[in-house]
Structure 1
Amino acid sequence: MYQDYSQYLQWLQRCIQAQEQRILTLENALQKMKEDIKLVNEKKAIHIDKIEYKFDQLKVETLEGTLNIGLNPSELSGIEDFAVQNQSLSSPLSPKNQMQRSMKIEEAIYRYLETDLPLVVQAVQRELNVQPNDEYLSFVKQDIIKQLPSRIEHHLAANSASSRSSENTPSDELIIEALKKEIQNGVMVFFSNLPENLKGMN
């Protein structure tokens, strides 16, 4: 009988030692994870200064990208700082009137995209010897539509600023004409920068 108790106590002691060993292993693993998390939190974010691409070495198989209307990235190099002092800005138009102007301009540009943009694209394609392709027109139109709200907002803000500095404020028609000119310039830049293998003509 004592032998049974002795064996039982030995078995119990081995179980306790195994549990203690397992707890120690888990505590060590937990401590290591805490240290790893602390190291990850202390690391600074990676900062990349400049990436240069050599486009003449790329083979383009799909047409993707952005058609820039308005400011082009190449024009941004001369712009140093857009900082604005904390000043209270007063808008001569109420938000309702501003929204109505924006909608009127947007409708006019949508009509222009439906009626005149195909002609503009065809003319530029002929001028630059680019094979006509309906996918280009669709791509250009979708890209312009994505950028249109921000460009209208930009022109209305510039209009608002000029109205504070002078009596003569540009009409909606002038803003519409400025947007049309930006679109035409953007189409020309887009097709000018197409790789030769996508132009489809020699």
Structure 2
Amino acid sequence: MNQNFYQVIQSIQAYVYAQDKTIRKLQKKIDMLEKKITEMHDRPPIRVEKMEYKFDQLKVETLEGTLNIGLNPSDLQGIEDFSVPSQNGVPNPKDRVSMFTEIESQVHQYLDDNLQTIMQNTGEQLQFRVDDTYRDFILQDIKKQLPSRIEYYLNQPPQNGRTHDQHKVWIFEQMKKEIHHGVSTFLQHLPENMKGPK
């Protein structure tokens, strides 16, 4: 019986020793966690106040990429043509882009070929010689305004049953008139000391 009693005491002692070891490990973990919590409390809190976005103050330098709404580029491979037939003489988007590009190209060519002559003729009408240095300034200024002016005329529905081709010709003629008028207005408002000799 002494031997059994001795074994029981040894097993109790081993169990208490194991429990003591476990308690020490847990106490170390608790101490470490308390230390981390104290450090977190000592740090200043991070606060995000009300965030306001002012989109009117954003400046976009370049805009690149493709915006797909409802379709992926891969979806477009199986589709033949989305163009909508024109109604009331207003060109569909595909025709409109084509007309815009064609008219813009014609006007650029017209400017390259005729701007110098337009300036000289206008100067003769105003009775002074136009300095050639104004040509590049006038050319760049007109080219900057071209897209918005072409868009303006494309938004005008064709009058008197004009076809698309006739409408393109009409827009081109309007652009030529605006170029002549713009050059004339610019040269008329030149200060006297900037005008060449008569």
Percent sequence identity over aligned pairs: 36
Per the TM alignment, residue 91 of structure 1 is displaced from its structure 2 partner at its CA by 7.7
Q: Which amino acid aligns with 2:94?
A: K
Report the 3-state secondary structure (helix = DSSP H, G, I; strand = E; otherwise coil) of the residue aligned with 1:134. Answer: coil
Matched, 1:179 2:175: yes
- 1:92–1:177 CA distance, 2 compared to 1 (3 A): closer
Per the TM alignment, residue 92 of structure 1 is displaced from its structure 2 partner at its CA by 3.2
Aligned to 2:137: 139
When the two structures are superposed, what TM-score results if normalisation uses the length of structure 1? Answer: 0.49
Q: Which amino acid aligns with 2:93?
A: P
Number of residue pairs aligned between Structure 1 and Structure 2: 110
Matched, 1:154 2:148: no
When the two structures are superposed, what TM-score results if normalisation uses the length of structure 2? Answer: 0.50
The equivalent position to 2:195 in structure 1, one of 193, 199, 202, is 199
Q: Which amino acid aligns with 1:186?
A: G
Asked if structure 1 preserves the Cα contact closer than 8 Å seen for 2:131 and 2:195, the reply is no
Per the TM alignment, residue 133 of structure 1 is displaced from its structure 2 partner at its CA by 1.6
Q: Which amino acid aligns with 2:161?
A: E
Q: Which amino acid aligns with 2:115?
A: L
Gaps of 5+ in 2: 1-86
Structure 2 CA distance for aligned equivalents of residues 174 and 92 of structure 1: 14
Q: Which amino acid aligns with 1:171?
A: H
Aligned to 2:3: none
Q: Which has the larger radius of gyration?
A: 2
Aligned to 2:161: 167
Q: Which amino acid aligns with 1:175?
A: I
Structure 2 CA distance for aligned equivalents of residues 92 and 133 of structure 1: 43
Structure 2 CA distance for aligned equivalents of residues 132 and 183 of structure 1: 16
RMSD: 2.1
**Larger RCO: 1 or 2 (CA < 8 Å, sep 6+):** 1
